[in-house]
Amino acid sequence: MSNPLASDLNALRQVVEKSARHGRYAQTFHLVPPVGWLNDPNGLCQLGDTYHAFFQYSPFSAEGGVKMWGHSTSSDMVRWSYEGTALYPDQPVDVGGVYSGSAYVEDGVMHVFYTGNVKHEDEDGYDYVNTGREANTIYVTSTDGVNFGPKKLVMGNADYPGDDTEHVRDPKVWRDGDTYYMVQGARKKDDTGEVLVFSSPNLVNWELCNRITSNTRFGYMWECPDYFELPDTGEFARHEVVQVLSVSPQGLHGGDWDRRNVYQSGYFVLLGDVTSICTLFPFALWDAGFDFYAPQTFQTDDGRRILIGWMGMPDEKSYTNLTVRDGWQHCFTVPREVSAKNGRVLQWPVRELESYRTNEQRVSDTLVAKDMRAFDLLVDGIDANEPLTIVLANQLELTWRDRRFEMRFTDEDMESVGAGRKSRFEFLDELRNVRVVCDVSSVEVFVNDGELTFSSRYYPVAYGIDVMAPGAEISLWDLEAEA
């Protein structure tokens, strides 16, 4: 490492990682930072037989700090090994942080694009929205995810539309025919969020080809955009593929938004051509739980579309994570297979997780279990006219009543199982099945084959599962993924 800033950051990172311990809330099959803070999934891809996941990483504080790209690998998306840090903020074009981005793989080469964040010294009273900030689009390649070539600046503020603010970021790249495409999230000067679409013949020269926003203003900034197409498998499918534009909008207020998270992540089904003329269907949430933001997808070599989210929430002051006292905060969701059926987008934990199931129990109507810390619970064949209750760790209630599915912590104290979390709910026409995938300090709920999910961190004192589901079939497995 020839750059002295990068080599010192590397040395310091290794020092803090050496003394790190995850403590009582250590996860067993969720990707976590070795120490400090993690946010967005970045550069998700498969190279040969290995899955690579990079993450926004601030090793020096559990409350965040300067961003670099941590790197983990896996052969099955369940057991992850930390490999070190891939990209440091060590150049004038990214010195304020190696922000989020993606990896596009072609012929064994990872083509990585990310935002080099720069914040200028505040001598002129910058607001860092319209002034004082650089959002540099940087391109770098690697054949192993460990060693990277030189950083190449391919776009800067002057290359983005003049009516955008200096908030443009999070490039996601794909290829269609002979052309490469890139989406970036942006905040316009009139405080509306939008997605910029660029095209390139060679990954180096990029040209703006489309700007996408909703008919009516939908928040002030759209972060972490992603675009992909899913074959529709349903017998009532109206289109061969469902086109999905995923965004994480900030600034949604009023109506139902006030009872939800500070920021949202969801998708618009899109009709038309993402690179020229298209229209957006109404926004749908990826996840209605407390901790889910900035998801990214990639395609595996066997053709599956995999989504991983950040199981955390920025700028949320009303609840916390009890792992901070052990020097770390946040994790990724379990990787989820995304598919479409009859126009609906579904999420389901990667099938590889099922090979870690052991000690199967199968019962009807009710189930009580104790001391299971990592488990997979499936409640199927639900009678939607009957109320249903699942209680985890005595304090987290999942209920179905009056067409409403709710995730609620019964104790709202900052030191309780929910660490300040209260209630999240959505209205559904029916309830057919519920799957709950729990690790030591996380809960992911998949409702109706994954039409809706609820993700949350939780901090049990005593582990326990109580299911009351009259008429339903209940299956429960331990998940033994710990090495």
For residue 168, what are the CA distances in angstroms to 95, 135, 140, 207, 312? 16, 6, 19, 15, 22
Q: Cβ closer to ligand FRU: 115 or 192?
A: 115
Torsion region of 4: left, alpha or beta (phi above 0 gives left; psi -120 to 50 gives alpha): alpha
Q: How far is the CB of 388 from ligand FRU (least distance, A)?
A: 34
Under the binding rule (CB under 6 A), the answer on residue 250 touching ligand FRU is no
Q: Cβ closer to ligand FRU: 85 or 395?
A: 85
Q: Evaluate whether 309 touches 294 at the Cβ level (below 8 Å).
A: yes
Q: How far is the CB of 263 from ligand FRU (least distance, A)?
A: 8
Please compute, for residue 173, the number of CA atoms within 13 A of its CA located in the half-sphere on the CB side: 29
**CA atoms of 307 and 62, how far apart (whole Å):** 25
Q: Long-range pairs for 403-410 at CB < 8 Å and ≥24 separation?
A: 403/427, 403/428, 403/429, 404/428, 405/431, 405/447, 405/452, 405/454, 407/288, 407/289, 407/290, 407/443, 407/445, 407/454, 407/456, 409/458
Q: How far is the CB of 248 from ligand FRU (least distance, A)?
A: 6
According to CB under 6 A, which one of 13, 169, 188, 341 is a site residue for ligand FRU? 169
Q: Which amino acid is at 476?
A: L
Site for ligand FRU in 265-304 (CB under 6 A): 293-294
**CA atoms of 440 and 373, how far apart (whole Å):** 5
x/- mask, ligand FRU, residues 64-83, rule CB under 6 A, reads ---x----------------
Under the binding rule (CB under 6 A), the answer on residue 88 touching ligand FRU is no
Q: Cβ closer to ligand FRU: 243 or 264?
A: 264
According to CB under 6 A, which one of 27, 28, 39, 329 is a site residue for ligand FRU? 39
Q: Cβ closer to ligand FRU: 46 or 100?
A: 100
| Burial profile 325-362: b = 16 or more Cβ within 10 angstroms, e = fewer | ebbbbbbbbbbbbbbbbeebbbbbbbebbeebbeeeee
Residue 205 burial class via C-beta count within 10 angstroms: exposed 0-12, middle 13-18, buried 19 and up: exposed
Cα dihedral sign for 474, 477, 478, 483?
negative
Q: Which amino acid is at 66?
A: V
Direct distance between the N- and C-terminal alpha carbons of the chain, in angstroms, rounded to an integer: 32
According to CB under 6 A, which one of 27, 28, 46, 56 is a site residue for ligand FRU? 56
Q: Cβ closer to ligand FRU: 28 or 42?
A: 42
DSSP bridge pairs for 230: 242
Q: Evaluate whether 474 touches 363 at the Cβ level (below 8 Å).
A: yes
According to CB under 6 A, which one of 156, 314, 387, 464 is a site residue for ligand FRU? 314
Under the binding rule (CB under 6 A), the answer on residue 100 touching ligand FRU is yes
According to CB under 6 A, which one of 29, 80, 99, 446 is a site residue for ligand FRU? 99
Under the binding rule (CB under 6 A), the answer on residue 142 touching ligand FRU is no
Site for ligand FRU in 185-244 (CB under 6 A): 223-224
Q: How far is the CB of 42 from ligand FRU (least distance, A)?
A: 8
Q: How far is the CB of 65 from ligand FRU (least distance, A)?
A: 10
| Residues classed as catalytic | 40
Under the binding rule (CB under 6 A), the answer on residue 343 touching ligand FRU is no
Under the binding rule (CB under 6 A), the answer on residue 40 touching ligand FRU is yes
Q: Cβ closer to ligand FRU: 40 or 439?
A: 40
**CA atoms of 263 and 286, how far apart (whole Å):** 12
Q: Evaluate whether 133 touches 169 at the Cβ level (below 8 Å).
A: no
Q: What share of the chain is helix, strand, coil (3-state, %, to 5)?
A: 10, 50, 40
Q: How many residues bind ligand FRU (CB under 6 A)?
A: 14
Q: How far is the CB of 98 from ligand FRU (least distance, A)?
A: 9
Under the binding rule (CB under 6 A), the answer on residue 110 touching ligand FRU is no
Q: How far is the CB of 64 from ligand FRU (least distance, A)?
A: 8
Q: Cβ closer to ligand FRU: 35 or 390?
A: 35
**CA atoms of 167 and 157, how far apart (whole Å):** 9
Under the binding rule (CB under 6 A), the answer on residue 170 touching ligand FRU is yes
Under the binding rule (CB under 6 A), the answer on residue 115 touching ligand FRU is yes
Residues that bind ligand FRU (CB under 6 A): 39-40, 56, 67, 99-100, 115, 169-170, 223-224, 293-294, 314
